[in-house]
Structure 1
Amino acid sequence: MTATVTSMGGNNQIWNLGNNMINTADLVNLEMQALETRKSPMTTRKQNITNEKSIYEGFKKDFSKLVQTFKDMSSFKGTDKPTTLSQTGFVSAAASADAISGTFSLTVDKLAERHQISGTKNVADLDADLGVSDQFTLTVGTKSYSIPVTPDMSVRDLINNVNNGNYGVSMYTVGSRVFMAASESGTANTISLTDGASNTLRDTLGLLAADGTVNTMTAAQDAAYTVNGVPLTSSSNTVENAISGVTLNLQQTTTSPVRLDVSNSTDAAATKMVQDMVSTFNDAVGILSNYAGEGSYMQASTAALSTGRAMSQIASFELNGQRLSTFGIQTDKTGNLTVDSAKLAAAFKQNPDAAKQFFFGASGLSSYMNKQMDPVFGDTGMVSGRVQSLDGELKKVNDQIDKIDASNKDKQAAIIDKYSKYEQQMSALNVQLSYLKAITNQKSSDE
């Protein structure tokens, strides 16, 4: 019998060097196979768990589009409402989807202005050192700041220090003169200046007059306007709270009222979103059938049954006496939805606010369906919970397999050692047998 080479325990082993009649390699392999059968049930269990986990992960992924559709619907606000002005150039308006539709009368009496101060001194060299130690006070509204001046500081250095200080003002130059302006408009951002001992603001920059008052170029001013005859003011020319959902930009004072019309939007985006929901829902009906149909892995599973129940709730949803059928949507005998596009569009046109409330409102269909689907597909839902449970089972099985492998490794070493010694003994016996044969043959020859 020829020698046999096998790989045992990560090492190559040569058997039957003694040309034994018994195939030692086969015996070793049989014992090794017997060891491997110890973890066969665990290996099968691991594969089963892995397969089940893959199915549940796929189930959640395939339903993610429907889940996300309902989430998107619940956060949908609709398209901006169109606005129309009887005169242009005085005010502009933008209305959000939440804006109140209607007609409003606007007048603009004053525009908001930023306080601007002009320096009266010509500064010959903006980069020359001021050569004085000084400290003046800058006040914007109710906040005051102390601004230091050092001898090695130039006018340009002083301007940069003020602009980088986040004091609510900006300084700049035009030619050789220095200007200061409030960052924001309105009387609440009026600038006050108090000179230091060296009178840098008065004598060097000319921002203060001889009597200590600022040389105002443009006074701080609040906007004054009316909406439907109600007088209002604003520190900014951008007004966001006068009419709910409408942003006004005051541009010029008016001589006569400007009419603003906020119309209902066409809501093409809203009807499209509802139609897309119907399509996605019908796709999900087919997906559920694939996962939970007769003979499938998830047939009669809790997750599949719960998903079916959650989806079926869409047919019974009602809000303020309205149901899906109000908007041309019906459920057929297969659980699919059908939509009458013309009826859906008409419903949004005739009463857009009610339609939006039904589909997108806080108590609407999308929010209701989110609540139905979340216990199944949410982060803490039963599908995620099942995947986490399977992960735990998989870890336990892997730990058991690792223990069996570690135990088998030690036993494999013992098996190899046992049969290696057997090989050595057989080899020694073969040598002795050959010696005896040789002696016997020699004696036979002598005789």
Structure 2
Amino acid sequence: MATLTSAGIGSGLNVESIVSGLVAADRKPADDRLNALESTTKAQISAFGSITSAMSSLSTALDKFKADGGLPGRKATVGTDAGFTASATSKATVGNYSVTVEALATAHKLQSAAVASATQVGDGTLTFQVGGGTAFNVVIESGKGTLANIRDAINKQAAGKGVTATIVHGDDGDVLTLTSDKTGSAGALSIGASGGNGGLSVLATSGGTLTQLSAAQDAVVTVDGITRTSSSNHLTDLIDGVTLDLTKAKPGTGFSLDVGADPASLKDTLQGFITAYNAAMNAMRKQSAAGGENATAGALSGDATPRAIMASMRNAISNSYADFAKLGLKTAVDGTLSLDGSKFDSAIATNPSAVKNLLGDDAEFGKNMRGLLQNYIGDDGMLSNRSKSLADRQKSITQQRTDLDARMERLEKAYRARFTALDTMMAQLQGTSSYISQHLGTSS
């Protein structure tokens, strides 16, 4: 029959405590090494993440100077109560225009005759066409032909197709209002009725009783005597780089539209680049700090990567410093940039292309800096590779912990086997000792 045993009972030794202590002593050096390595690795992963984020922000700020982003903006100014508003991009040419809003684009709006709310107008099929679009049907079921039923059927079956139905409850009864979702002649509504009991014919645009509240009218606007017709009151292609929003028709009355240079937006964009550049430099400086008295060392202290990146970026600035200085940019001792706003304004007034010539996609500095940033934060860049290497190290640490757990488990089993054997042997020796003692006592 099997017997139950418990290590230590026979010998009096605290086997569990001894085994635990020995395993812990064996484990501690490896644990300490892995804990230190993991702490350092996590700190470095975080540090490179902070630097990569700052460098990505710098890349985004630099990309704003691509194409026409490096040119001064434009500001559109219109006359008082002009009947339109305007905005301009850097593509607009500086100049003055005379604009007349002859007519606004309006949406086609139709109205039925008033009937009692419970009146069954009819059933069958209503066929709608919006402008030159594809015709579509709305089915009105028998017994569901009140104006409210028809409204619900139209809004459900014709959702997103260009027509909206509403009910106005007046003193004389309910009135169905049908409105095109498109302004201008392109949104003209055409409605036909067929099938059913024939009652829906009152809602047909030909032969029905619908009245027109608003015509499908196009906008008409003249610029310096040149006429433009549009189905929309929002015109983006009338004047290059200028967007007009027509708000009120004032036939025969022209109002001024002045398009002038607006360097303020370009200055803001340049300040954004400076802020991003300084943030990137400060991030690298913080993470690579050597530390010392009353100063904390950075997670990348002693790592050459941040210092190499800072040096290359400062060299890029230095190589184009004369051009930066002309724009009012200055460098501090620590390599950060600042902008003299007044000097910038004067420089842009003299040469509107100065920023584009320095930071644009075809500019020498712009191309060099974009190349540097790609080398650092691109998929195969220096920072990306360092982050991947640290991630691999973290995986290795995790695997080493798994291996350590397995090795300690085997060691614990070995210790337990040895002390169990010792416990058994000591129990046997104690039994033999007791037997001898008893035998000697009996003999005497």
TM-score for the superposition, normalised by structure 1: 0.77
Q: Aligned pair in 2 of structure 1 residues 138, 272: CA closer, same or farther (>3 Å)?
A: closer
Counterpart position of 1:314 = 317
Aligned to 1:181: 179
- Alignment correspondent of 2:77: 84
Q: Secondary structure at the match of 1:44?
A: helix
Partner of 1:255: 252
For residue 137 of structure 1, the aligned residue among 120, 127, 142 is: 127
Counterpart position of 2:294: none
**Aligned 1:295-444 pairs, distance under 5 A:** 299=302, 301-302=304-305, 304-317=307-320, 323-331=323-331, 335-337=335-337, 339-351=339-351, 353-358=352-357, 361-363=360-362, 369-378=369-378, 380-444=380-444
C-alpha separation between the residues in 1 aligned to 2:72 and 2:332?
31
Question: Is the Cα–Cα contact under 8 Å of residues 60 and 377 in structure 1 kept in the other structure?
Answer: no
CA distance, structure 2, for counterparts of residue 332 and residue 26 of structure 1: 64
Judged with a 3 Å threshold, the aligned counterparts in structure 2 of structure 1 residues 376 and 298 are, in CA distance, closer, same or farther, namely farther
1:156-196, Cα deviation, whole Å (9 max, x unpaired) = 11122113313312333443343333221111222222232
Structure 1 position 51, deviation (Å): 1.0
Of 408-417 and 275-284, more deviation after overlay is shown by 275-284
| Aligned counterpart in structure 2 of residue 196 of structure 1, from 177, 194, 205 | 194
Partner of 1:221: 217
State the TM-score, normalizing by the size of structure 2. Answer: 0.78
Within-5 A mapping of 1:227-242? 227-242=223-238
Equivalent residue number for residue 112 of structure 1 = 105
Match of residue 93, structure 2, among 76, 84, 100: 100
Question: How many residues were matched structurally?
Answer: 417
Give the CA deviation at 1:220.
Answer: 1.8
Percent of residue pairs identical: 22
Bigger CA radius of gyration? 1
Letter in 1 for 2:109: Q
Give the SS at the match of 1:179.
strand
Task: In structure 1, give the amino acid aligned to 2:193.
Answer: D
Gaps of 5+ in 2: 1-5, 292-296
Structure 1 window deviating more from structure 2 (233-242 vs 378-387): it is 378-387
- The 1:368/1:112 distance shift into structure 2, 3 A limit, reads farther
Change (3 A) 1:249 1:64: same
- Counterpart residue number, 2:261: 264
- Find the counterpart in structure 1 of residue 152 from structure 2: 160
User: CA contact under 8 A between 1:126 and 1:155: conserved in structure 2?
Assistant: yes
In 1, the alpha carbon distance for the partners of 2:282 and 2:193 equals 80
Structure 1 residues 343 and 27, CA, compared in 2 at 3 Å: closer, same or farther?
same
| Partner AA of 1:141 in structure 2 | G
Alignment of 1:283-294 (within 5 A): 284-285=280-281, 287-289=283-285, 291-292=287-288
Work out the CA distance in 1 between the residues paired with 2:85 and 2:426: 106
